[in-house]
């Protein structure tokens, strides 16, 4: 979800999505997932060097600022000797090592992407975007994030290496559930001249899927409606996103002082009748025999969110016959005759 800091100016990402149940399944993107792939590219004296590639195969859900956070649990007593393209947030207790100190000794390391503009000698291909990864449906060429790490105390062959377990992914909030890794056919790489193929010494994948219910038990948006022939506006229901935090929201009298101070402490959601961070308004502009036209507007009520990409996903039985779209790039998702919830 991507929105501007000001409540009535949207430069944003928004999704209207319907989910069947708490498990990670989206009927509008049933095969969407984020795949984490480890390619062992060389063996070292006490372990290996691997390239880790995260590909966002979701059709419309981006990983937005402040970006992804990845974690796992080592199977043995592995350490990370070095990293390129990303960094571990904690070094951990490396006190047993004398002289050459590992980069990270955590049993459960937490990894984040490097920020844009880091020195070139710290980069690898597809890294250093602050953890922001577009969806495959919007930009397949940019839907990839990679880093490289050198692992020690791990075994030095495909028979002695134990796969890390319990992968976690936040992008940037909760909602993703990751499978245990599985060894797959080694990845093949094409050389720059296109005449030779090399392959990884060992490859494994973990697949992460998303559930809106796991991410947030309560709704995060609501829809209001109006039409050209009726002056009445059907507003979002009262407390559509819950009113438990009504006492901790921003009133009209405090908007300018809070936004002007650019503070991140305390509440940043504007007080409204519906108490939703996002409202989508559906306005029927024309309704003729042969066609109808709708204007959709998105309003952000959360002063703490500011993103650079936006996607609006709408399900309607007549949208399989869209003839013209203004101000937006339009792409149909996989059509379904019916959806049962």
DSSP symbols for 15-31: -----SSSSS--TTSTT
Instruction: Say if residue 266 is in the same domain as residue 205.
Output: no
Instruction: Say if residue 205 is in the same domain as residue 288.
Output: no
Banded model confidence at residue 251, pLDDT cuts 50, 70, 90: confident
Percent of the chain whose predicted confidence (pLDDT) is above 70: 84
Question: For residues 34 and 58, is the Cβ–Cβ distance under 8 A?
Answer: yes
Instruction: Say if residue 200 is in the same domain as residue 249.
Output: no
Residues 5 and 303: their CA atoms lie apart, in Å, by 5
Answer yes or no: is 193 within a domain.
yes
* Residue ending a domain, choose from 210, 234, 259: 210
Mean pLDDT of 15-37: 66
Instruction: Say if residue 248 is in the same domain as residue 131.
Output: no
Query: How many residues are recorded in the chain?
Result: 341
Instruction: Say if residue 267 is in the same domain as residue 229.
Output: yes
CB atoms within 10 A of CB 283: 15
| Domain count for the chain | 2
Answer yes or no: is 17 within a domain.
no
Can you say whether residue 194 is alpha, beta or left, with left for phi > 0 and alpha for psi between -120 and 50 degrees? left
DSSP 100: S
Predicted confidence at residue 17, as pLDDT, reads: 41
Q: Helix H segments across 186-302?
A: 212-215, 255-261
- Three-state DSSP at 318 gives helix
* Residue ending a domain, choose from 210, 237, 266: 210
Banded model confidence at residue 341, pLDDT cuts 50, 70, 90: very low
CA dihedral in degrees (313, 274, 341, 60; nearest 10)? Answer: 20
Q: Nearest-CA neighbor of 216 among 161, 276, 264, 270?
A: 276
Answer yes or no: is 2 within a domain.
no
Residues 44 and 287: their CA atoms lie apart, in Å, by 69
In DSSP notation, 103-130 reads SB--SS-EEEEPPTT--GGG--TT--ST
**pLDDT tens across 144-170, in order?**
999 999 999 999 999 999 999 999 999
Predicted confidence at residue 306, as pLDDT, reads: 67
Q: Nearest-CA neighbor of 7 among 203, 324, 276?
A: 276
Answer yes or no: is 104 within a domain.
yes
DSSP 273: S
Query: Which residues, other chains included, contact 302 with Cβ-Cβ below 8 Å and sequence gap of 6+?
Result: 3, 268, 269, 270, 277, 278
* Residue ending a domain, choose from 179, 210, 241: 210
Name the average pLDDT for the chain.
Answer: 85
Instruction: Say if residue 153 is in the same domain as residue 49.
Output: yes
Banded model confidence at residue 103, pLDDT cuts 50, 70, 90: very high
- Three-state DSSP at 53 gives strand
Instruction: Say if residue 255 is in the same domain as residue 193.
Output: no
Instruction: Say if residue 184 is in the same domain as residue 238.
Output: no
Predicted confidence at residue 258, as pLDDT, reads: 62
Banded model confidence at residue 264, pLDDT cuts 50, 70, 90: low
Instruction: Say if residue 206 is in the same domain as residue 223.
Output: no
Answer yes or no: is 6 within a domain.
no
Between 268 and 43, the higher pLDDT residue:
43
Report the relative pairing of strands 47-56 and 34-43 from DSSP bridges: antiparallel
**Residue 54 in this model has a pLDDT that exceeds 50:** yes
Can you say whether residue 337 is alpha, beta or left, with left for phi > 0 and alpha for psi between -120 and 50 degrees? alpha
Answer yes or no: is 29 within a domain.
no
Mean pLDDT of 16-24: 40
**Residue 338 in this model has a pLDDT that exceeds 70:** no
Residues 184 and 205: their CA atoms lie apart, in Å, by 7
What CATH number does the domain containing 67 carry?
2.60.40.290
Instruction: Say if residue 161 is in the same domain as residue 42.
Output: yes
Instruction: Say if residue 83 is in the same domain as residue 186.
Output: yes
Mean pLDDT of 132-137: 92
Answer yes or no: is 122 within a domain.
yes
**pLDDT tens across 59-95, in order?**
989 998 889 999 999 999 999 999 999 999 999 999 9
Instruction: Say if residue 107 is in the same domain as residue 248.
Output: no
Answer yes or no: is 1 within a domain.
no
Provide the CA 2 distance to its chain's centre, in angstroms.
11
CA dihedral in degrees (238, 243, 247, 251; nearest 10)? Answer: -40
**Residue 14 in this model has a pLDDT that exceeds 60:** no
What is the span of the domain harbouring residue 94? 34-210
Q: CA neighbours within 13 Å on the CB side: how many for 318?
A: 8
Question: For residues 73 and 326, is the Cβ–Cβ distance under 8 A?
Answer: no
Angle at 127 between CA 125 and CA 128, to 5 degrees: 135
């Amino acid at each position: 979800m991507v929105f501007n800091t000001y409540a009535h100016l949207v430069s944003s990402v928004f999704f209207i999505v319907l989910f069947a149940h708490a498990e990670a399944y989206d009927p509008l993107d049933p095969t969407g997932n984020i795949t984490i792939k480890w390619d062992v590219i060389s063996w070292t004296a006490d372990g290996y060097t691997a390239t880790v590639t995260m590909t966002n195969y979701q059709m419309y859900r981006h990983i937005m600022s402040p970006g992804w956070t990845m974690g796992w649990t080592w199977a043995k007593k592995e350490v990370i000797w070095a990293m390129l393209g990303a960094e571990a947030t904690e070094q951990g207790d490396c006190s047993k090592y004398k002289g050459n100190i590992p980069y990270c000794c955590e049993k459960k390391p937490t990894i984040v992407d490097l920020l844009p503009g880091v020195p070139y000698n710290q980069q690898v291909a597809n890294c250093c975007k602050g953890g922001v990864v577009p969806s495959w449906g919007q930009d397949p060429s940019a839907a990839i994030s990679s880093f490289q790490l050198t692992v020690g105390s791990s075994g030095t062959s495909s028979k002695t290496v134990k796969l890390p377990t319990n992968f976690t992914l936040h992008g940037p909030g909760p909602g993703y559930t990751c499978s245990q890794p599985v060894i797959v056919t080694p990845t093949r790489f094409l050389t720059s001249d296109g005449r030779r193929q090399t392959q990884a010494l060992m490859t494994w994948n973990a697949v992460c899927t998303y559930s809106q219910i796991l991410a947030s038990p309560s709704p995060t948006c609501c829809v209001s409606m109006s039409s050209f022939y009726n002056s009445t506006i059907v507003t979002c229901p009262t407390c559509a996103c819950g009113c438990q935090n009504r006492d901790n929201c921003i009133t009209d009298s405090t908007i300018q002082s809070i936004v002007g101070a650019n503070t991140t402490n305390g509440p940043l959601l504007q007080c409204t009748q519906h108490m939703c961070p996002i409202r989508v308004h559906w306005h029927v502009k024309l309704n003729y025999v042969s066609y109808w036209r709708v204007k959709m507007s998105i309003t952000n009520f959360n002063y703490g969110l500011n993103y650079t990409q936006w996607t609006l996903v709408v399900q309607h039985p007549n949208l399989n016959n869209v003839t013209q779209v203004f101000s937006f790039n339009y792409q149909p998702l996989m059509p379904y005759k019916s959806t049962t919830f």
